[in-house]
Amino acid sequence: MDHVASLLLGLGNGGVYAALALALVITYRASGVVNFATGAIALYVAYTYAGLRRGELLIPVPGLPKTMDVGAELGFAPAVAISLIVGAALGALLYALVFRPLRDAPPLAKAVASLGVLVVLQGVLAIRQGTNPVSVTAIFPTDRWELGSVAVLADRFFLAMTVVGLAVVLAAALRYTRFGLVTRAAAESQTGAFVSGVSPDRVALVNWMLSAVIAGLAGILIAPVSPLTPVTYTLFVVPAAYSVLDDAVTWNDERRKRGIGIVAALGDLKARLRPTNGRLPA
């Protein structure tokens, strides 16, 4: 019974890590990038969502006002829609400015570039929004279910089920739609994609936008469970990154070791920061 209780208590963690792993796998499959900035993207979209619920639009550009008044507090649906559009635009911007120029670079160089993006996004948000935790209105019911001696938090359960549903839809789309076929073809061979009339750059751009949307959705869903703080959210990507490193079958052993070393270093940093900067959702 203790194992069941531990499993149910881990629904919140598992849902977040699974959603970020989906986003990581998409960018890796499309452009060969292990995007360690995925957590920072989720954080940015979550901050945008939190601001819109208060009637403010986050402006991350230094020198400009921190926020812009949108006239009224937005409801859940419009705030999510606008936030995900912002996330898609951020994904497109990152690909166009950072990762498209690196499309022929070694995988490790791309991973290091993503670490640079992580640091920049985290620093900008810390400067513009501060480091105090930001609370967000609950999205899912916050009931507590009692199953014998085991307690289950309803919001964690619904969070996990939402991510499972998203994974099923995404897997079906990548397997049975033309877009999924094109994505897999471009991942296998860019030359073959060109010959078939498919632009690998365009495919990668769309996948980066999709990845940012998924990461942003994960950030929005977890925001009511774990208050927004720049450090904690960016490190949510550490457990999720192992899913991509395990999938990186094209890496040779040395590159794999270096990649795992980066993740291990981030994991150590996460362990050091966790006691003073909040905790992962239980």
In tens digits, the chain (282 residues) has pLDDT values of 555 556 666 677 777 788 888 888 888 877 778 888 998 999 999 999 999 999 999 888 888 888 899 888 899 999 999 999 999 999 999 999 999 898 888 878 888 899 899 999 988 888 888 888 888 888 888 887 777 667 777 888 888 888 889 889 988 888 888 877 777 767 666 665 666 667 778 888 988 999 999 999 988 988 888 888 887 777 777 777 766 665 554 444 444 444 444 444 544 544 554 444 444 444
Q: Would you say residue 49 lies in a domain?
A: yes
- Among 136, 143, 7, 3, CA closest to 73: 136
Q: Would you say residue 201 lies in a domain?
A: yes
Both tokens of 127, joined, read: 């400067």
Residues 70, 51: Cα–Cα separation, whole Å: 10
Residue 21, C-beta contacts closer than 8 angstroms, at least 6 positions apart = 240, 243, 244
Q: Would you say residue 22 lies in a domain?
A: yes
Q: Would you say residue 202 lies in a domain?
A: yes
Residue 8, C-beta contacts closer than 8 angstroms, at least 6 positions apart = 147, 150, 151, 152, 156, 157
- The backbone torsions φ and ψ at residue 34, rounded to the nearest 5 degrees and listed phi first, read -85, 95
Q: Would you say residue 278 lies in a domain?
A: no
Residues 208, 24: Cα–Cα separation, whole Å: 10
Q: Would you say residue 11 lies in a domain?
A: yes
Q: Would you say residue 279 lies in a domain?
A: no
- The backbone torsions φ and ψ at residue 57, rounded to the nearest 5 degrees and listed phi first, read -105, 125
Q: Would you say residue 16 lies in a domain?
A: yes
The range of the structural domain enclosing residue 106 comes to 2-273
- Among 137, 139, 166, 135, CA closest to 154: 139
User: How many DSSP H helices and E strands does the chain contain?
Assistant: 12, 4
Total number of domains constituting the chain: 1
